[in-house]
Structure 1
Amino acid sequence: MSQRTEQAPALEAAALLEETRHIVDPELRAAVDSLPTAMRRMVRYHFGWEDADGLPASGASGKAVRPAMVLATAGALRGAPARAVRAAAAVELVHNFTLLHDDIIDRDRTRRHRPTAWTVFGESDALLAGDALQALALRVLLEDAHPAAAPAAARLAACVVEVCEGQQVDGALERRDCEEVALDECLAMAGAKTGALLGCACAIGALYAGADRDEVAAMDAFGREAGLAFQLIDDIIGIWGDPRHTGKPVGADLAARKKSLPVVAALTSGTAEGAELAELYAGPLTEADQERAAVAIDRAGGRDWAAQHAADRMAGAIDRLSHAVPDQEAAGGLLSLVEFVTRRTY
């Protein structure tokens, strides 16, 4: 493949994501329209298709990274992406099930630049809407005539269990004292919460391409490595991100005293700044405290550690991909997507 310019991955990824939305959106809308009226209204709001009054809206419905990974993997492994559209929609439905639940668990009040579903429709109803999306995803897969549909559904169900386990561990870590949290277990938790679904998306794309067991495993590993890199960058954005880009208030993770990866790296750094951060995390953080905490994390090396570890995971993802798809040109779309999500501005 010809030498890629600095802008080429971003441009290629943007085109892939736009094409994915164009292809997958009708399948998503058809699936959501099968839901009971009240749940359909909440889900359509969550996706940005309607406003709180049920009127059509043109809000952002997400980047479509995970369905794009399904389709790009299918294509990279000599499959037909057009036959994997239902699978891509199923993965996106599961992703949004996790978002609806995460917003409730984390008490996040803003997503994609507008109020989260639970703040508009109530906690219980938003929770049930998330449950419905998970069931809907499996139904979409199991009603697909493709021979890979059943194993893909089994894999997606196993992924949901892993994601739930990661979320449970995340909550348990939040309740522990700062000195009782280790970096390795936080990495394992992030791998389950974020890496598992990206790995599953790639594995399902491989299944739909008719890939063999080793290729499916390699693509799952690729997605997991890319997912952890994504989470590391997301954690950096959660502390230092620009609300104009993130759609969330600045410092939201610090206000919630989340033990994100840069935070834990700082807490376990053995530095004076790490000790200062632990003191700040012992009680509620004012806006001034949040600013002090961000400075302490940076000076303790948490930000640099997260950025370097994201780069290392990205390198690992590319290595995994090269084993599954030796043809760099065939792998170009997947490379563009992971470079896009791990080089986001904040």
Structure 2
Amino acid sequence: MTALQAPPAAPELLAHCAGLVRPALRQAVGRLHPWLGEMAAYSFGWCEVGGAPATASGGKGVRQALAVLGARAAGADEHAGIPAAVAVELVHAFSLLHDDIMDGDATRRRRPAVWKAYGTGPAVLAGDALFALAVETLAAVPQGAGAVRLLSAALADLMRGQADDLLFTGRPCTGPDRVTVEEYRSMAEAKTGALLGCAAALGALLGGADEDTTSALDRAGRHLGIAFQLVDDVLGIWGDPAVTGKPTGGDLRERKKTYPVLAALDSPAGRALPELLDSPGRSEEAAELIEAAGGRTAALAEARTHTSTARALLSRAPLAAGAAGDLLTVLDFLVGRDL
């Protein structure tokens, strides 16, 4: 067991929150055009192409759990966070549909990605429909104006982070134009942390929390997102495909500037890495060099730093009794998965 492994309570907690949210999420998806609804249901693992029922994995459900727990952290009944949970789950699904297209990823959770199953145009349209449905869901709640503003700000960050991530691929590995670790942190906070922070903050907002509480949850979620992205980077190079659902070394073949790569490039032991990254078929050698140069160790150490910061923010926030512990359980699960 590593220092980042998840506590046993995490799966039960996530399953509990998913059970609360799933009926409302299905109801929301049911309001879509039938074809768009089928693609959305496929992305959640509810059906096969053509609409036949399925029980495929629909993901970990961390964002919806954070929304439910955010409401509890505000001292409200956990059901108060369900509209926030539905909205962030819809936005997350929208981002994955588009992300797979941009990255050219043909599989998602060990099934063909939506764009491979239905076509690129339909997948883009389904993603747009999920985004619109998320806004509609929040606009209908009493705190709708504030909730939509919070979601819109997170979406703006998410798009900025996604743009940076795409641009990083084309930048050189060395020289003055190389990607720095500081730029990476900013990208990861925007691309991954913004929606995690928004999930917890939205749930708290709908639960009646004050601005200090929602702000603390948002900031904790952003640090959690950086830690999550760092762990995702490690899994993208060394993860087991049977667990991650993606081929080993995919990030290296796409020449992504992930944290292990950046850390290795900053090490004298990583001088040969640019040549390996530019050579098709040498991703296994590149992974070995990155590990030898300390890239994997550096990424996990950085993840622990941001996890500690998130913990400190939660410990200082005025949260309802028991809520902080459940939030920490989700935090530990998210950064400890499959390492």
Q: TM-score, structure 1 length as denominator?
A: 0.93
C-alpha contact 2:277 2:283 (8 A) present in aligned 1: no
Out of 166, 175, 178, the residue aligned to residue 170 of structure 2 is 175
Q: Percent identity?
A: 45
Does the Cα contact within 8 Å between 2:72 and 2:207 map onto a contact in 1? yes
Distance 2:243 2:7 in 1: 16
CA–CA separation in structure 2 for the residues paired with 1:199 and 1:84: 14
Equivalent position of 1:308 in the other structure: 301
Paired with 2:296 and 2:153, the residues of 1 have a C-alpha distance of 33
What letter is aligned with 2:17? T
2 CA distance for matches of 1:134 and 1:47?
15
Say whether the 8 Å CA contact 2:68–2:81 is kept in structure 1.
yes
Distance 2:209 2:278 in 1: 50
**Which of 63, 66, 72 is the matching residue for 2:63?**
66
Q: Match for residue 288 of structure 2? A: 295
The equivalent of 1:224 in structure 2 is 222
User: Where in structure 2 are the equivalents of 1:259-278 lying within 5 Å?
Assistant: 259-269=257-267, 271-272=268-269, 274-278=270-274
Please tell me whether the aligned partners of residues 223 and 310 of structure 2 are also in contact (alpha carbons under 8 angstroms). Answer: yes
For residue 128 of structure 1, give the secondary structure of its aligned residue in structure 2: helix
Following the alignment from structure 2 to structure 1, what is the Cα–Cα distance between the partners of residues 232 and 165? 15
RMSD (Å) for aligned C-alpha atoms: 1.7
Match of 2:333, as an amino acid? F
Instruction: Name the structure 1 match of 2:145.
Output: 150
CA contact (8 A) 1:182 1:268 kept: no
Structure 2 residue runs of 5 or longer lacking an equivalent are none
Cα deviation, 1:49-92, whole Å, max 9, x if unaligned, reads: 11113211110111110010011121122122112211111010
* Cα distance in 2, alignment partners of residues 242 and 149 from structure 1: 42
The structure 1 segments of at least 4 consecutive aligned residues displaced by more than 4 Å after TM superposition are: 6-9
- In the other structure, the counterpart of 1:338 is 331
Query: Contact conserved, 2:20 with 2:82, CA < 8 A, in 1?
Result: yes
More contact order relative to length (CA 8 Å, sep ≥ 6): 2
Matched, 1:135 2:132: yes
The answer as to whether partners of 1:183 and 1:268 remain within 8 angstroms in 2 is no
* Contact map agreement 1:87 1:149 (CA 8 A) in 2: no
| Correspondence list, 1:91-106, <5 A | 91-106=88-103
C-alpha displacement of 1:290: 0.9
User: Is the CA contact 2:197–2:220 (under 8 Å) kept in the aligned structure 1?
Assistant: yes
Look up the equivalent residue of 2:311 and give its one-letter code: I
CA contact (8 A) 2:75 2:320 kept: no
Residue by residue, what CA displacement relative to the aligned partner does 1:171-200 show, whole Å, maximum 9, x if unpaired? 111111111211110111011000111111
How far is 1:219 from its partner? Answer: 0.9
Asked if structure 2 preserves the Cα contact closer than 8 Å seen for 1:322 and 1:328, the reply is no
User: Which residue is 1:3 aligned to?
Assistant: none
Decide which of 39, 47, 52 is 2:49's aligned counterpart: 52
Q: Please say if 1:26 is aligned against 2:19.
A: no
Structure 1 unmatched runs, 5+: 1-5
Instruction: Tell me, yes or no, if the aligned pair for 1:9 and 1:335 is still in contact at 8 Å.
Output: no
Selected match of 1:13 from 5, 10, 15: 10
Post-superposition CA distance 1:106-146 (Å, at most 9, x none): 111111111100011111110111111111001011122xx
